[in-house]
A = this chain, B = another copy of it.
């Protein structure tokens, strides 16, 4: 869940967790970490320094794990229940990583965690696990491993907010390459909403919003009409 922290210039009892969405062409995926020598899977998260804004802290954490800059981030909820903090889990993670309890014991306490989701271009990432983690990998949102703490709830909430934002914010831009076909755009919407959309209605809607620029055709070497490429205005 968290990048290792060396000292106490972090705000106590506060963390953030990020749901990093990517789209592989057909499925919506998120990034999940697995911790050394444990069976714990978790969202990428971290802490906020005393002299750093919350937004900056999250931006830094997501950048480090993905190798990307200029990341599209939205805060979606702050989780403040008592049950979500489970000292046993963090204890095991610290122990298995041979981390000094003197120095890292504060991680066992109770945390409020601010959830952010990121929308990134699946193709462009170069994934880097943090110090406590074996791996960071893409998982389809409907085939997630068991997640620690309340991270499953967090993913659910992130997805809800993303869906609600779908008609008010331009979401496709961040999940697709610069140029894309109408079909790809539709597939992003379908993956987020979890339902099929009508092709002609979707196309008419998108074109009528006047947010797209039409470019050259994309010849895919298939035995049918080539689709146009589009980008966002």
Contacts and interface: CB of A to CB of B under 8 A. Distances in A.
B164 A80 contact: no
A95 interface: no
A48 B12 contact: no
Contact of A81 (B11, B13, B54, B164): B54
Interface residues of A, number: 24
A54 B80 contact: yes
A184 interface: no
Q: Is the interface of A mostly helix, strand, loop or mixed?
A: loop
A90 interface: no
A51 interface: yes
Interface string A105-136: 00000101010000000000000000000000
A81 B110 contact: no
Interface string A43-57: 000001011111101
Interface of A: 11-14, 48, 50-55, 57, 75, 77-82, 110, 112, 114, 164, 168
